[in-house]
Amino acid sequence: MLGIIVDKNLTFKNYLNKKIKKANSKIAAIKRNQHFLTFFQKKIVLSSFVHCHFSYAPLAWMFHSRELNDKINRVQKRALRILYKDENSTFEQLLVKDGGFTVHEKNIQLLLIEMFKAKNKFKPHLLQGIFKANNYDGPILRNSKYFKRPNVNTVRYGEKSLQNLGVKLWDQLPSVIQDLGSLASFKSYIKKWKPFKCPCNMCKTYINKLGYVNLCNCGHC
């Protein structure tokens, strides 16, 4: 995972821009030949030549900018438009039609799977050191937390850290799912799950020249 970047001078931003460019070039080639492919053939080809660019070691690069996230979403939207021959639906409508998730949501699912492995002492040991048990010895409460929440002192290495985001997302899972004993059962559940409200900065409401804001969710404003 940590060897995701072969060239040490290549930053994550450049790495993702390179992957986005490659994915777009593959989409252009598939679009030119889509009339020779059936629906299922297009689905396989798009998965093999487009989606694969964003499935390698995402935990190493998932804390990218909002701008890069929008670019990745546009790639996924182009792929879905070709798959369903739909040029009118929005990205959200295409996702519902496909029954799929955004790349960011898939990254979150993978993060929680790795946390489940850490909780149950599966390999790799590196993640067990990142996601530490709370070691609470008191009475078991209904809202007891398994993972220790880190002390956040900075934005880049605290609030935006893998540990901080992972613990917040883990606490959104029902306790019965957290306590599953089978990795296969956990994967089966988590691959159909998305957070009610993702706490990362990319999913927060951002207003230009104002910053991140918390808007009322009452539905009447």
Q: Does residue 79 carry a pLDDT above 90?
A: yes
Within a domain: 165? yes
Q: How far is CA 173 from CA 11, 143, 170, 177, 186, in A?
A: 33, 11, 6, 7, 11
* Whether residues 110 and 92 fall in one domain: no
Among 44, 67, 100, give the residue marking a domain's end.
100
Whole-prediction pTM:
0.82
Contact between 21 and 79 (Cβ < 8 Å)? no
What integer pLDDT is reported at residue 26 of this predicted model? 96
Domain with 76 in it:
12-100
Q: Does residue 201 carry a pLDDT above 60?
A: yes
What integer pLDDT is reported at residue 144 of this predicted model? 55
Q: Which residues pair with 207 in a beta bridge?
A: 211
Among 71, 100, 129, give the residue marking a domain's end.
100
Q: Does residue 6 carry a pLDDT above 60?
A: no
Percent over 90 (pLDDT), the chain: 50
Contact between 24 and 76 (Cβ < 8 Å)? no
* Whether residues 35 and 79 fall in one domain: yes
| Residue with more model confidence, 155 or 166 | 166
Among 62, 84, 100, give the residue marking a domain's end.
100
Within a domain: 219? no
* Whether residues 96 and 16 fall in one domain: yes
Q: Does residue 3 carry a pLDDT above 80?
A: no
91-150 pLDDT, tens digit per residue, is 999 999 999 999 999 999 999 999 999 898 887 677 777 888 876 655 554 455 788 887
* Whether residues 118 and 168 fall in one domain: yes
Domain count, the chain: 2
What integer pLDDT is reported at residue 146 of this predicted model? 82
CA–CA dist 203, 63 (Å, integer): 11
Within a domain: 216? no
What integer pLDDT is reported at residue 8 of this predicted model? 44
What integer pLDDT is reported at residue 183 of this predicted model? 93
Within a domain: 151? yes
* Whether residues 62 and 95 fall in one domain: yes
Within a domain: 187? yes
* Whether residues 84 and 131 fall in one domain: no
* Whether residues 19 and 96 fall in one domain: yes
Q: Does residue 216 carry a pLDDT above 80?
A: no
User: In the structure, what pLDDT confidence band is assigned to residue 84 with cuts at 50, 70 and 90?
Assistant: very high
What integer pLDDT is reported at residue 158 of this predicted model? 63
Q: Determine the angle formed by the axes of helices 66-84 and 39-49, rounding to 10 degrees.
A: 160
* Whether residues 25 and 86 fall in one domain: yes
Q: Does residue 215 carry a pLDDT above 70?
A: no
